[in-house]
Amino acid sequence: MKITFYWPGLIAALFCMAVSAAELDRLAIEKQLAKADKNHLADLRRKDLTGLDLSGLDFTKADLWGSDMRNADLSNSNLSGLNLDLTVMSKINLSGANLSNTSIFGVHMGSANLSHANLSGSRFIANLDRANLSHANLSHANWGVDMKNQPMGLMRVSLNNANLSQADLSGANLNRALLRHAKLLESILKNTVLFAADLAGADLSGADLSGADLSACNLEDTNFAGANLAGTRFKGVKNKSALKGIDASKNLEAAIFE
């Protein structure tokens, strides 16, 4: 029997409940970060950081693996290149944060604030339902399914009801992503891989989809009004007239229907 996982953060939640986490405040964390270097990282592994104001801090020399950061404020912080696998980040504030080239796997980030965050080159397999990613930079991010590595069943990023308005997803890989009722108004999706993604009810009005791959997607009630469809691939779509707002899209004659 094939098992499909839509909420990998459940693993992280159970894991964090099982460990004994230390109580820290901002001052204690700042002291650890000040002393840290590449060979002696600030040890924040599995720590309880819930609700803390950690905004504007540089965590690039810290180990945050498995930490609990629910409701914490890490806005404008630097988390670039970190391994944040199995952390808990529901309702976290990461607005304006640098998460470029960061790995986040098996994490619950429901309702997180990632507006204006730098997520370029990052690798996410997480639950981001209802998250705010407006104006975020996801260029060349790899949030797609690795079909060669699915030992626990299909694990994929979930962005249902997320706000990605005016976000930059150019060159990103979101194959098989869940984007039901997601807001992608005026987002940049140039050459984005959305193969087999679930975009049912998503709003792509005004988005730049030039060169994007929407083959095998669920496009039921997806809104394309005002979207740039130059070179957009719709393999598997037999009746393009059934696509919502398609008559009000741009460069429809240059879209590819197979």
233 DSSP β-pair partners: 213, 256
Mean pLDDT calculated for residue range 57-70? 96
Half-sphere exposure of 120 (CA within 13 A, CB side): 10
- Using CA atoms, how far apart are residues 197 and 99, in angstroms rounded to an integer? 24
Tokens 């590595």, residue located: 149
Tokens 């997601």, residue located: 182
Please write down the long-range contacts of 100-109, taking CB distance under 8 Å and 24 or more positions apart: 105/8, 106/8, 106/9, 106/11, 106/12, 106/155, 107/8, 107/9, 107/12, 108/7, 108/8, 108/9, 108/10, 108/12, 108/13, 109/9
Q: Which pLDDT score, from 0 to 100, does residue 6 have?
A: 46
Higher model confidence: residue 148 or residue 125? 125
Q: Which pLDDT score, from 0 to 100, does residue 155 have?
A: 85
Q: What is the largest CA-CA distance in the chain?
A: 62
Considering the entire predicted model, what is its pTM?
A: 0.88
- CB 73 within 8 Å of CB 53: yes
Please list, in sequence order, all residues whose beta carbon lies within 8 angstroms of the beta carbon of residue 34, skipping any fewer than 6 positions away: none
Give, for 33, the enclosing helix (H) or strand (E). helix 26-35
- Using CA atoms, how far apart are residues 228 and 79, in angstroms rounded to an integer? 34
Give, for 30, the enclosing helix (H) or strand (E). helix 26-35
Mean pLDDT calculated for residue range 247-252? 97
pLDDT at 17 over 80: no
pLDDT at 187 over 90: yes
pLDDT at 143 over 80: yes
In which band, very low, low, confident or very high, does the pLDDT at 151 lie, cut at 50, 70 and 90? low
Average pLDDT, the chain: 91
Sign of the alpha-carbon torsion through 137, 11, 59, 69: positive
